Amino acid sequence: MGRRGSAERDAVTVEIGYAFVSACFAAALVFAAVYGAAPALGLSRAAHGFLEVAGGVLAGVVFLLRVVHVLWRFGRRGNPDARGTSG
């Protein structure tokens, strides 16, 4: 591995920022979709608690999957061998 140029470092920084922001947005949507059912349906406190925990867990999983997916795709894009083309 050689040294990275300024443009490459900037591209990595932007991609990490994009991964983080898009993962936050996706996680918030998942949490809202799961936990939002509790007040809408008038469920009990136990159901509220369950949906809150389930929404939090699912949101965390979605966040991690989104970050990994975006950064994995970015890493493969920069590697010509990963696309199946060589030299």
Give me 62's structure tokens: 């979605």
36-63 pLDDT per residue, tens: 888 888 888 898 899 999 999 999 999 9
pTM: 0.77
> Which has the minimum average pLDDT: 1-5, 70-74, 79-83?
79-83
